[in-house]
Amino acid sequence: MFKAMLIKEFILVLRDKHALAALFIMPAIFILIMSLALKETFDSERALLKYAVVDLDQSAQSAKIRTFLAENRVMQERPVTIVDDADCKMALSGDLHFVLTIPKGFAENYALEEPVGDLLLLSAAADVRPEMLTLFKSEVVTSVMQLRFEKMKAELSPFLPDVAISQLEALDFNGEDIVKVRFDAMQADEKPTSTQQSVPSWIVFGMFFIIIPMSTIFINERRQNTLMRLSAMNISVPALFAGKIVPYIVINQIQVWLMIVVGIFIVPLFGADALTLGDSLAGLVLVSLGLSLAAVGTSILIAVTAATVEQATTVGGIINILLGAIGGIMVPKFYMPQAMQEFANLSPMSWGLEGFLDILLRGLGPEAVITEFLALAGFGAGLLLVAGIVFSHKIRRGI
């Protein structure tokens, strides 16, 4: 019996081009478009300090300074052409915080005990806060110190035994070895990339779009008295619901993994960052199952209560967009004011998104998403229960 219902539901969805577009193509396109559209925004938002470099020396050493600074994720070099002071002022009046000038002769000057003239010149924007200046300045100083250390090591190497050299190498600059930073959930410098944000968001959004095919099929079944016929064939309401729940959970899972494939393999082809999966496959499965239950529960309740297909697709579409807007799908939650972020927690889409971000962004395990899973599963089960009561009542009234 169950197999027959499963096969029937799959065939009906597979033959419904609009449903396929809503379930698979729409979220894939959203993922692609939003990953590309928000790439610059996300990249620049991650960088707290924006700067330009005027490299008048054009030496290997000046290039190393630039590389060192670029490796810092909170800083971003902007390609700005600065020829004179006027250009510099203009750049700093925009969104640049600093302009670092590397004078000609830096390569010869940087290791001298007393450098000739200014070794480096740092221009700061008027609104730069002292802590930002301190941070940037210390990064620049560290980069010069590293250059000096490398030079010293190179000069001393011929005269030192291997043991001493290895000890010197152990002193090499590596901030990660000295201070291990553990980021709390979405610290300011650990916001998701556009792909890491877009893929989970539009997976969640797309999963709830099963409202359209499910309600269309269900209402047509009701309208044509197919459900009445099924009841007359001894199909109970729980069996009828199970025949809907399982196929759409499977469809949801196909959506999730297809969108992940899009994030990993297709999005990078267009120049955006590839999606990186966390270490917890179980966590991903748990979140996506919870989301499926929530989406299926919402869909069945709408299908049961709506009088017509038009009503179901309109109401379903509006609910989907509202849940998405509230839940941080369309506007990431970290852009929202605190009050709105708390309001966002009312949306099951937000629970699902947080679960995905826990796995995909924060690298957490399944234990971290149990709360989200239980909330989503509970939400879905609650709606299914209400739908069951409403539908049983309707059946008794003659559907």
Query: In the complex, which residues of this chain contact another protein (CB under 8 A)?
Result: 1, 3-5, 7-8, 11-12, 15-16, 220, 223-226, 228-235, 395-396, 398
Beta bridge partners of 49: 75
Q: Find the helix or strand (DSSP H, E) in which 353 lies.
A: helix 348-360
Amino acid occupying residue 12: L
Q: Please tell me the distance from the alpha carbon of residue 286 to that of residue 227, in angstroms, as a whole number.
A: 32
State the virtual CA torsion across 112, 113, 114, 117 in degrees, nearest 10: 30
**CB-nearer residue toward another protein: 104 or 223:** 223
Tokens of 133: 């200046």
**CB-nearer residue toward another protein: 174 or 234:** 234
To another protein, the closest distance from the beta carbon of 15 in angstroms equals 5
334 DSSP 8-state letter? G
Size of the chain, expressed as the number of residues it contains: 399
Q: Please tell me the distance from the alpha carbon of residue 399 to that of residue 5, in angstroms, as a whole number.
A: 20
**CB-nearer residue toward another protein: 180 or 396:** 396
281 contacts 366 by C-beta, under 8 angstroms: no
Residue with tokens 């980069």: 143
To another protein, the closest distance from the beta carbon of 301 in angstroms equals 22
To another protein, the closest distance from the beta carbon of 228 in angstroms equals 6
To another protein, the closest distance from the beta carbon of 395 in angstroms equals 7
To another protein, the closest distance from the beta carbon of 236 in angstroms equals 10
**CB-nearer residue toward another protein: 165 or 235:** 235
Tokens of 374: 């239980």
Residue 294 sits at the vertex; the CA angle it makes with 288 and 297, to the nearest 5 degrees, is 135
Look at residues 205, 231, 241 and name the one whose alpha carbon lies nearest to residue 28: 205
Q: Please tell me the distance from the alpha carbon of residue 102 to that of residue 148, in angstroms, as a whole number.
A: 16
To another protein, the closest distance from the beta carbon of 240 in angstroms equals 9
**CB-nearer residue toward another protein: 41 or 236:** 236
Tokens of 222: 């009701």
49 contacts 97 by C-beta, under 8 angstroms: yes
Residues 6+ apart with CB under 8 A from 79: 52
**CB-nearer residue toward another protein: 4 or 163:** 4
**CB-nearer residue toward another protein: 216 or 280:** 216
To another protein, the closest distance from the beta carbon of 232 in angstroms equals 4
Tokens of 162: 């291997």
To another protein, the closest distance from the beta carbon of 2 in angstroms equals 9
**CB-nearer residue toward another protein: 4 or 179:** 4
